[in-house]
Structure 1
Amino acid sequence: MGFSSYISWDDLKVEGGKLETQNAAGRKRIIVVDQTGKGDCLTVQAAVDMVPHHNPHRLKIYILPGLYSEKVNVPASKPYVSFIGDPERAEATVIAWHNRASDLDENGDEIGTFRSASVTVEADYFCAAGITFQNTVQFSAGARGNQAVALRISGDNSVLYKSRFLGSQDTLLDESGTHFFYKCLVQGSIDFIFGSARSLYMECTLSVIGESFAIAAQRRETDNDDGVFSFVNCTIHGGGGGGVFLGRAWGDYSRVVYSYSELDIDVKPQGWDDWGKPSRQKTVLFGEYKCRGKGADRSGRAAWSKALTHHEAQPYLDLTFIAARQWLRL
């Protein structure tokens, strides 16, 4: 692989606030988004539109603080894009929209969950640092079509660092590909991390709000798929009355593992849900390893969930889980 096929810390930052707008070859390296008009663009989508199709080199979109009320799409034809805010103040740079699954498009058809996303990333080697992705739709009991995605990510080999994902039902659609979420915050109430990706969530905070039901809904349809959600050294807090499920079996071979995590939350005694399909109890892998906190009590856990041994947990515990040697240099 060439240099550009690796993600490094440099891809996640703008050095010292000094903006090198071109590299040695004269290619634009940084596009500045500034709502005051002092940058290259007023909106994030306008910056994405400036990225050449089939872009072969890292291009950073430096988003100055502000609330950017827009839908954004990074298409598959624009790899190696970084969204960069201030990693120490992710709340200062917000991309937000308000679509829900039951909204209608120009043809009068419901847009559905996937198209509700405030930000969609289909490109490979995407990075985000210090950005808040938000869908402002709130869950309403008894209403249909509440699914409201903040970020849908389906590109491969992506890193999201010190970023926030805010919503209620279906906040983060971790759809496909291999992803590394590091020191991020994900907020929601129902299935708020869902999809078929193979993703490592390390040192993240999962904030359960409102009329909560379940945290993760992982969709792995066959035993040959490689999709798994692994949560390592994470903190889970919040929650409504009655507790939450740690995960639900959206697919027949759903895989979710929590390791070394603080479950500071009321968890339903059984811990896990088979999505109303008991046959999935024989094929899913729902595991816990050395977790702590009031939600870590496994005395009432579903018998088909697992208290993992170190040997069983080892494949999910570090960056080797996402084949980091092939695409990360952090």
Structure 2
Amino acid sequence: MHRHRRLKRLRNVAVPLAVVTAAGLTYGFAAADDDSTGAGTGPAAAAAWADDTADGFASVEANGQQGTYGGRDGETVTVKSLAELEKYATASDPYTIVVAGPIKMDPVGKEIKVASDKTIVGAGTEGDIIGGGFFLGEGVHNVIIRNLTIRDSYQGTWNDKEHDFDAIQMDGAHHVWIDHNDLRHMADGLIDSRKDTTNVTVSYNRLSTNNKAFGIGWTENVEADLTIHHNWIRETEQRNPSTDNAEHAHLYNNYLQDDPDTEISSSYGNYARGGTRMVLENSYFQGFTNPVTKDEGAGLVQRGNVFKDTSGRNESGGTAFDPKDFYDYELDPAADLPAKLTAESGPQAAIGTTTTAAGTKAAKTLTVARDGSGQYDTVQKAVDAVPAGNSEQIVIAVAPGTYREVVKIPAGKPNITVQGTGSSRKDTVIVYNNASGTPKPGGGTYGTSGSASVHIEANDVQLRNLTVSNDFDEAKNQDLQGQQAVALRTIGDRIQLVGTIISGDQDTLLMDSPSKDIRSRVYVTGSYITGNVDFIFGRATAVVDRSVITLKKRWNGDSGGYVTAPSTADGRNGILISRSTITGDVADGSFHLGRPWHAGGDAALDPQTTVRDSHLGAAIKSAPWTDMSGFSWKDDRFAEYRNSGAGAGAAGEDRPHLTDAQAAQQEIADWLGDWTPGAV
């Protein structure tokens, strides 16, 4: 594919552009299955997203356009207001437009008319478009819409005939790439590709909680070419997608999920209508009614798909085409898609942050390798080498291997990133096996907080692309008083865990603060957290976003446990789990979402956990909250909002749900305040 490259000019509109030098793949530090690639080859590499171009039919030369690369040849601007976004999106010049915070459409349902040669990208996971979307009209071309959350133009009627409020509508456009977005809860369709719109690729998006997901057609011509791959489509009734009169429709590696006993039920899945020629490969259909349908005149070739708990029509027939006549691609096994796409789809923390601007200082790198090929052979030695009061960015690049050591980043050493340099987060492991009751060399025991394998006491610290584990063996130490064994303890402010695995049993991840009068914020994204009892806990203001929380059986094989145990101070936000998956190989109905930890019996605390927009497996109890140490959960703050899955349930006395108005005050931005996480 032809790639255009030229030096970009950087321009700030609302806030400074984030400076990054950390490694990242095209799709960032995604939390796929534990064996997946989570980072690039080294911390000095620039973020890759700025030069990304589309794959699939959006990459094919046609209509005078050589691939889809958006606004890469123009200026990069950062916007935080509707006026700024509309100004640059509608301009005639090319622009890369970084959306660095939530933007509300006014009026509700407004669709900004995007001009050609634009990239509109969310900054990490902070680019929310609320109450409206985008329109690409006749002849508009070379547009990338990426890494955004576009949501909430819903007007109270699922099959809404009165409000044409789409997330993205295209009428006669060409060469469009829609990638890594979260599209949900709109009044009409999430994506409409109409009136001979062609050379479109739609990849790694989440389309959910809507009546109509993705409609293609509104034309008598059979000439549109589209590639639709690696999307997670769930809780949508129709147009999943409905493909009408497309000459070449290539659908592969999509995950279509319809949960039972919810407000929305699927009427059909992939639909080849009219004269469409469709190739449908290695997709996963779960719970769908009529998962694959076709009109008599359509050609639909199926191969390698998985159908679980589906019913009704599942059709194929006729002839289609060979996608490899147009472009190269690789298929993932269909069976891997639920785990892969629940974690990898949607906005990613490493997309939308920019490469180092002129005049800024790149991070200093210290290297660690067990075999002696680095500057240091342990992680702690590298931390020790960072000067006290450090003010510059330090990246500790850790080569693949298992580092059996306790690592402590003291309060006087901020601005440190510890990053694994392997191809998977599993390649670099920091592990130890202290428990609360483990005797200390100088007498006494470690206690819960002291048992951590990694302690982060400093501010502005990041962990990336690695595993932190506590492998204390409960079965072999049943005589020990104090089985709690922390993998990671944080007490600093502005802590990021990106593309990590945090693994243990009881009390895995302790997110704390120096005292209950001090706020400490933690942002976890694209990560795995594993445990069984109170394994996400503490008094920090903490966000677990787009991650997989894995429930684990206890040492004796029994199921049962508690996901969270917040000890939030009064007047402060506690633990927010958002856009994540909670699942595990444990018994159905055996786990609580949380219970209130009044540390030290402090009745003045006001513990809080909110779980929203997440997929809950069958292990979650129908009454998901419970009491702790004589304190009732009903006296504290525990709630859900718009969750799905077998473990989700309707609002009730034992299962409080937020109202829409309450949920609007419990967004990620409300937790993080003036801090926007980004790469180093």
Matching residue within 82, 85, 110 for 2:445: 110
Q: TM-score, normalised by structure 2?
A: 0.44
Matched, 1:311 2:658: no
Matched, 1:13 2:363: no
2:369 is aligned to: 34
2:594 is aligned to: 247
The Cα shift of 1:27 comes to 9.7
Kept after mapping to 1: 8 A contact 2:625/2:654: no
- Give, as a single letter, the amino acid of the residue that structure 2 aligns with 1:199: A
Rg (Cα) greater in structure: 2
Matched, 1:321 2:671: yes
Matched, 1:205 2:548: yes
Kept after mapping to 2: 8 A contact 1:11/1:127: no
Matches within 5 A, 1:292-311: 292-298=644-650, 303=653, 305-311=655-661
Distance 1:182-1:227 versus aligned 2 partners, 3 A rule: same
1:53 is aligned to: 388
> Residue 595 of structure 2 aligns to a residue in which SS?
strand
1:172 is aligned to: 509
Inter-partner Cα distance in structure 1 for 2:616 and 2:362: 47
Q: Which runs of 5+ in 2 are unaligned?
A: 1-15, 25-39, 46-358, 514-519, 555-559, 599-604
Inter-partner Cα distance in structure 1 for 2:422 and 2:541: 24
Kept after mapping to 2: 8 A contact 1:244/1:267: yes
Inter-partner Cα distance in structure 2 for 1:88 and 1:191: 31
Q: Which runs of 5+ in 1 are unaligned?
A: 1-5
Kept after mapping to 2: 8 A contact 1:8/1:328: no
Q: TM-score, normalised by structure 1?
A: 0.88
Matched, 1:236 2:582: yes
Which stretch has the larger CA shift, 184-193 or 226-235?
Answer: 226-235
> Residue 49 of structure 1 aligns to a residue in which SS?
helix
Matches within 5 A, 1:279-298: 279-282=632-635, 284-298=636-650
Distance 1:316-1:42 versus aligned 2 partners, 3 A rule: same
Matching residue within 255, 271, 274 for 2:627: 274
> Residue 447 of structure 2 aligns to a residue in which SS?
coil
Query: Identity over aligned residues, as a percent?
Result: 28
2:487 is aligned to: 150
Distance 1:310-1:239 versus aligned 2 partners, 3 A rule: farther
Distance 1:59-1:308 versus aligned 2 partners, 3 A rule: same
2:615 is aligned to: 262
Matches within 5 A, 1:92-103: 92-103=427-438
> Residue 316 of structure 1 aligns to a residue in which SS?
coil
2:62 is aligned to: none
Q: Deviations over 1:274-296 (max 9, x none)?
A: 214355522x1111000011110
The Cα shift of 1:106 comes to 2.2
Root-mean-square deviation (CA), in Å? 2.6
Matched, 1:70 2:405: yes
Which stretch has the larger CA shift, 87-96 or 117-126?
Answer: 87-96
Matched, 1:137 2:486: no
1:89 is aligned to: 424
- Give, as a single letter, the amino acid of the residue that structure 2 aligns with 1:213: G
Q: Deviations over 1:209-261 (max 9, x none)?
A: 0133100000024x23x141001110011153351000011134110001110
Kept after mapping to 1: 8 A contact 2:42/2:421: no
Q: Tell me how many residue pairs correspond in the alignment.
A: 316
> Residue 530 of structure 2 aligns to a residue in which SS?
strand
Inter-partner Cα distance in structure 2 for 1:158 and 1:7: 19
Which stretch has the larger CA shift, 285-294 or 132-141?
Answer: 132-141
1:3 is aligned to: none
Inter-partner Cα distance in structure 1 for 2:498 and 2:525: 5
> Residue 380 of structure 2 aligns to a residue in which SS?
helix
Kept after mapping to 2: 8 A contact 1:182/1:204: yes
Distance 1:210-1:322 versus aligned 2 partners, 3 A rule: same
Greater relative CO, 1 or 2 (CA 8 Å, sep 6+): 1
Distance 1:158-1:231 versus aligned 2 partners, 3 A rule: same
Matched, 1:215 2:215: no
